[in-house]
Amino acid sequence: MKPFVALTAVAAVMSIVACGPSEAEIAAEKNKREADSLAALAAMEHTYMIDGAASKVDWKGTMLGIKSHYGTVAVAGSFTAKANTLTGGEFKVDLKSITALDTNYAPDGSKQGTRAMLLGHLASADFFAVDSFPTATFKVTAVEGNSATGDLTVRGKTNSEKVTDISLTAENGMAKATGKLVFDRQKYGVKWSSGHKDAVLNDNIELTIELTGKAQ
């Protein structure tokens, strides 16, 4: 090979190498691909199965002018989300799992006003009739902002209700969601009244929902 031709070939190779991407450019392109992939994954809708051991529904009922009772009830089901936004869900509450955590009770063994008596009363036909209707359900029908509308079924009666103040975070295949729901017990046949002039049971039952779910 003639010296001039050889020098031309070497120059061409060096030119090609010099025009190729630098290590920094290669790393930047790799990082961009990874970021785009994560963004696409986050934009996908995921279904999360509720972990019953890490989830609960807190309930609260108030006897106006006297006291409030509150406790928890077990929840099962699933919910869907895109990134950190709830998109749907269907839940079932076990009414036989109702616990009472407040201290507004007479000592055990008293003739009236004990914790066990309250739980028995809540399970009776005066309230939730759990032998006939052991579960309550809620199915999301629409989501707007941090509120979700859905069908609540209690004692076989269904009405549209709204969950407000929804907060959801999703990371590493897990999601945590919280929200509040207040419903009028009269609409569901939970119509017990104390019968005392100064002891009126509020019609509203307040629920605070805390869910932890694993992506499927």
What pLDDT, in 10s, does the model give residues 142-183?
999 999 999 999 999 999 999 999 999 999 999 999 999 999
Given a cut of 70, is residue 204 above it in pLDDT?
yes
* Four-point Cα dihedral 77, 159, 157, 102, nearest 10: 70
Q: Give 18's contacts (C-beta < 8 A, 6+ positions apart).
A: none
- Region 104-132: what's the mean pLDDT? 96
Residue of 64, 65, 88 lying closest to 77 (CA atoms): 88
**If you average pLDDT over residues 15-30, what whole number do you get?**
69
Window from 56-65, 106-115, 139-148, 187-196 with minimum mean pLDDT? 187-196
d(CA 162, CA 179): 10
What pLDDT is stored for residue 32 in this prediction? 75
Q: What is the Cα–Cα distance from 138 to 183, expressed in whole angstroms?
A: 12
Question: What backbone phi and psi angles, to 5 degrees, belong to 131?
Answer: -65, -35
Residue 76 makes CB contacts below 8 A (sequence gap 6+) with 50, 52, 91, 92, 94
Residue 66 binned pLDDT confidence (cut-offs 50, 70, 90): confident
Burial of 76 (0-12, 13-18, 19+ CB in 10 A): middle
Confidence at residue 200, expressed as pLDDT on a 0 to 100 scale:
86
Phi, psi (deg, nearest 5) at residue 37: -65, -45
Nearby residues of 137 by Cβ (< 8 Å), 6 or more positions away: 90, 91, 92, 93, 151, 152, 153
| CB-CB contact of 151 with 159 (8 Å) | yes
The answer, yes or no, to whether residue 39 has pLDDT greater than 90, is no
Over residues 71-108, the pLDDT tens digits come to: 999 999 999 999 899 999 999 999 999 999 999 999 99
Contact 55, 212 (CB under 8 A): yes
**Residues 201 and 61 sit within 8 Å (Cβ to Cβ):** yes
d(CA 88, CA 192): 33
